[in-house]
Copies of this chain bind each other. A is one copy, B any other.
Amino acid sequence: MFDSGVGGLTVLGALVDHIPSANYLYFGDTARLPYGSKSAATVAHYVVDAVRYLQQQGAELLVIACNTATALALPEIKAAADVEVIGVVEPGAAAAAAATRTKKVVVIGTEATVSSHAYRHALSAHGVVAYEKACPLFVPLVEEGWVEHAVTEQVARVYLAEAFADSAREADVLVLGCTHYPLIRPLLRRVAPEHVAIVDSAESTAHEVARMLGQSDSAAQGRRGEGRLGAGATLKFFATDSADKFRKMGTRFLGLPVEDVLHVDLKE
C-alpha cells in the first residue's frame, strides 16, 4: 500500500479486517506530504519513486491508498508498475453509484483531488452526477487531533453547506474522498443532511481488494478490535520522514500498534 502519509492506514485497517492473514507493506511518503495542494506532475513523480521501492520489497499487488495520488497519477503509476494496481477512486465511485437513488452525489476531498475531477469522471461512467467540494482544513484538523472539536464542527458546517447548495440539494450520498476523513465520520454524520448516506472510499477499496483476492467478506465477521491480525500476518512500514513520528501518529489512524517502521530516503 502506498500513501502520502498516515491517512492510508484507514484503508489498511479496513483491509486487515477483510484479509487478516496477509503480509502488508505500507509506504508513507511523509517527508513530501501533503500531496493535496501539489500539482499532478509533482505527485506522479513522487508516487512512481515509491512504487518502485515497494516492488523491490516484494509487493505483489499495489493499493494506492491515497485519493490525491489516485486522482492525479493512476495511469502513470499503472504504466510504471509491473504488478496489478488498485486505487481508491473507482471503488468509492462504484459504492456511491450503488447507494444513490437520485443519481446525484457530493464528493469531498483535498484541493488536488477535487480539481482533478477524478470522481466526477468515475461517477459519470456510472450515470451519476458528482458535486465536488474541496475541504483543505479537514486534514490539518484531523492531524491536530481535533476530531470531536467545536472548531472542526464549525468548519464542517461551512464546507457542507457549500457542498449541498443549489442543485446539489438533491444529492443523497456523501463520498469521503480522502483517507483522513473516516476519523471525523461521526462528526460529519451529525453535520450532513439526515437523509444523506455516507460512503467511505477507504472501506469500499478494502472490500474491492478482498473481492479481487477471492476472500469472503464473512472473514471480517467478529474480527474488529483486538486480535484482528491473523496467524502469519505481518505489517511492515516505510516512511520518508521520521520513523518515530510515523509510529506515534500511525497508531491512531490504524487502530493497531504501528511498530516495524523503517526510514527510507528516496533521493539516495
Give chain A's interface residues, CB within 8 Å of chain B. Answer: 30-32, 34, 37-39, 41-42, 45, 136-137, 139-141, 143-144, 150-151, 154-155, 158, 240-242, 245, 267
Contact = CB atoms under 8 A, between A and B. Distances in A.
Nearest to A40: B242
B136 A143 contact: yes
A155 to B, nearest CB: 6
Contacts of A139: 140
Contact of A151 (B30, B39, B154, B242): B154
Among all A-B residue pairs, the 4 with the closest Cβ atoms: A39-B242, A140-B140, A31-B42, A38-B241
Given A32-B32, A136-B140, 15 more contacts: A30-B38, A37-B143, A37-B245, A38-B241, A39-B241, A39-B245, A41-B242, A42-B241, A45-B267, A136-B144, A137-B137, A137-B144, A139-B140, A140-B140, A150-B154
A146 B176 CA distance: 23
A151 B144 contact: no
Contacts of A30: 38
A161 to B, nearest CB: 13
A151 B143 contact: no
7 contacts: A31-B38, A32-B32, A37-B143, A37-B245, A38-B242, A137-B144, A151-B154
A242 B143 CA distance: 25
- Which of A41, A139, A140, A240 has most chain B Cβ within 10 Å? A140
Contacts of A37: 143, 245
Contacts of A158: 151
A242 B140 CA distance: 22
Contacts of A151: 137, 151, 154-155, 158
A240 B240 CA distance: 18
A136 B143 CA distance: 9
Nearest to A265: B45
